[in-house]
Structure formats: structure tokens, C-alpha cells
Amino acid sequence: MTFGAKIRELRVGKGLTHEQLANGLCSPDMMVQIESREGRPSTFVLSSIADRLDVSLDNLSGESDRRAESLALYREALELKRTMDFTGARERLEELLKHPFFGVPAVELMCNLAECNLREGELLEAFHWYHFALEEACMERNHEAMITIYKDLGHIEFAQERYDFALRQFDRALAISERLPNQDVALTTHLYILQGICHNRMQNGKVAMQCFRLAVKCCEASVDRRSVAWLMLLISKFFREMSCEWEANAYTERAAGIFREVNVLDLSERLPEQYGILLGVGGVVSEVCHALQTYLCFLDEAGYDMEAGIGYVELATLLVGENLDMASEACQQASQRLPEAPEYQTCVLELQGRIACERLEYREAADLYQQAADGYKQMKQAQQWANVMRVLSWIHRELEGASVS
């Protein structure tokens, strides 16, 4: 309970109106805002309210302080989960569930705790927490949470090779997802893929193929083109596993065609958020990168060198914030596969400059950024040229400062 809710409870218990409690302290409207958490009273006002309600200031404000501590602990748990320290995240989430607090829905806490258990292989514990969360989500009619819970319950069944039970859970998730007015197309697409994988494991090859085709149809018109390209490579992998070489090659060719489209190499555009959802790796960047690297092999094997090079540029862009050595290797792979023309090599030079900056190798970074600036100038791309020149100016200031020191 927040201090605003506590004030309201005590005020109603004493039979006071907003006007009576606010008399001489603040306006009645301000008192309404305080109770609804929109207003932030001063210590003097809060102390006076406590006196009028015959409670101590500590009792009134303590809940607010505890909520702030709980939220900080929750953010810490999410950060540990993001860095794949599931044990540390689980310990903090369990502590939060022992002492409920206002600010984060219980279903969200339970889903995060269940996911940590699932990622650690504690399937039974994950199963229990997901069912607790499902009860809560059903009562609240929280459809987004219900989809996530059914999907992850399906993963638990799949891990135990109970494919018919897993399929049942994925079906439930998909049924809810398709009914939502603001449907998450990437998630719906991924659920079709999960259905297809289950049918394939159950030796229902034709049904599995239909599920994979539905996944492509679902996302092709709604999800950004770069995400569709990676989905095509993922689908081609499944068809190849089912010995459908012709259809696998067709999806690989469609992916290569998207990579050849204009502006795919525009690094100023924010990378799509759907990758983790479409590929089923939860949005953890290191896992997304591993998946993308696997799919790039299909382009290499099919002889699409230039298209694979474009894919390596995107992979390097993702890796810059994760692993500089791997990002540098991806840049080299891209440079080897892409044509020598400025419209291809310039973005690679810019990425290599970013990597050199992260390593504090400013002289090398200056040389790489200068080459990138020359490339953008040659292509008459004024905005990209200006962005690179700003970075180059900053690098030169850093070098001058180092010389003075």
C-alpha cells in the first residue's frame, strides 16, 4: 500500500472529507492528488496530515520508502536476468514475492521467476510458478501475460519431449494472440513456428510445413523487411531438416533478395526489436547474435556472398555492445564478402571505427572514420557524412588532449 492509499484509508476511517483534512494545509484538489499518487507533499504537509490522522510520520511514509527499495531490487533482478545470471535474479525475485509491494504486478514477478527457473533447467519449479501466474493473469484478464505463460508452459513440455502437450499449450497461446485487436505479429509468427516444430517432432511433416508457411504469411506484410529476411533463413533451416531442399532453397533465395534491397545497410536506422521474439531467444543479444551467425552459414553455403556480407554487417552492429572481438571478426567477414564499391564498404569502415573507439585506439579510429567520411562524401550522403565528421572531430580533440598530457 502506498502512503496515498494509507492516507485515504485512515481519512475514511475517521470520517473526514478531503476539505476537512486539507484545511489550512493545501487545497482539497491537492489532497485528492496526494491520495492518487499524482501529488508529492512536502515533509511539513505530510507531517501535519499524520498528526491529524493520529499516526506517526514513519508509519505513513514507511510504505513509500519500502516500495522504492523494492523497485530498486526488482530493477537489479531484471539486470541480472538480462546478463543471464539467473540464480542471482531468482534469489531477488523470491525475496520480492515474500513481501508484496505496490508498483509491479504479481503476475510479472512470478513470470520472471518462472523464466529464471526454466532457463536453469528447474522445470518443476518453473511449472508451479507459471501456474500461479496463470491464475493471477486469468483473474486480471491479462491476455499478454496469458500468451507468454502458455508459450513457456509449452517449452517446459517440449523439454520433456511431451510434444502433444507442448502443442496444446502453443495452440492456447496462439488462440489468444490472434484474437487481440493490437496483435503482436512477431509473437504470433513465433507461435506458428513453435507449432511447426512440434508437428515435425511428431512426424506430421505436412502439417509442420503448413505451420511454417503460415508463419511467413503472418509476418511478411507486417514486420520490417530485415526481420523477415532472418525469418526466411530460419524457415529454410526447418525445410532443409525435413529434406525439402527445393523449398529450403526458395526461402534462402527470398532472404537473399531482401538483403539486396536498398537501405538495408543503413546503420542510422534502429535495429529491429523483433529479432529475439521471431528467433525465440528472448531478446538476449548474445543469443540473438549466435542465432544470426548460424543462419548466415546458409547464405554462404548457397553461394550468396554479397548477401551474407550484408548480414555480417548487421551482426557486427549488434555485437559492438556485446563483444568487440566478435564484432571485429564479423566486420572482417563482411568486408571479404562485399563488393569494393563505397556503398558497401563505407558502413563497414564506420563500424570498424566504432570498434577502435571502444578500444580507445583513437589513431586507428581516426583513419577508419576518415575513410568512411570520404565514402559518404563520394556517395553524396550528407547526413551520414555529417555524423561521421562529428565523431571524427571528437576523436581529434581526444588525440590533442592526449598529446598535451
Predicted confidence (pLDDT) per residue in 180-189, tens digit? 888 788 788 8
Instruction: Write down the pLDDT at residue 257.
Output: 81
In a domain, 108, yes or no: no
Contacts of residue 303, defined as CB under 8 A and 6 or more positions apart, other chains included, come to none
Instruction: Write down the pLDDT at residue 305.
Output: 81
Instruction: Write down the pLDDT at residue 294.
Output: 76
In a domain, 84, yes or no: no
In a domain, 158, yes or no: no
Is the pLDDT at 109 greater than 80? The verdict is yes
Among candidate residues 15, 33, 55, the one where a domain is terminated: 55
> 1-15 pLDDT, tens per residue?
566 777 788 888 878
Count other C-beta atoms under 10 Å from residue 245's C-beta.
11
In a domain, 385, yes or no: yes
Q: How confident is the model at residue 405 (pLDDT cuts 50, 70, 90)?
A: very low
- CA-to-CA distance for 74 and 184, rounded, in angstroms? 26
CA distances from 35 to 5, 13, 25, 31, 286 (A): 6, 14, 15, 6, 44
Q: Residue 360's domain spans which residues?
A: 339-405
- CA-to-CA distance for 191 and 278, rounded, in angstroms? 9
CATH number, domain of 47, equals 1.10.260.40
In a domain, 168, yes or no: no
In a domain, 392, yes or no: yes
Higher-confidence residue of 342 and 372: namely 372
In a domain, 28, yes or no: yes
Report the pLDDT averaged over residues 109-125: 89
Report the pLDDT averaged over residues 306-314: 82
Total domains, the chain = 2
Residue 106 burial by CB count (10 A; 0-12/13-18/19+): exposed, middle or buried? middle
Instruction: Write down the pLDDT at residue 175.
Output: 93
In a domain, 292, yes or no: no
- CA-to-CA distance for 187 and 148, rounded, in angstroms? 9
Which cell goes with 125? 519449479
Q: What is the pTM of this model?
A: 0.64
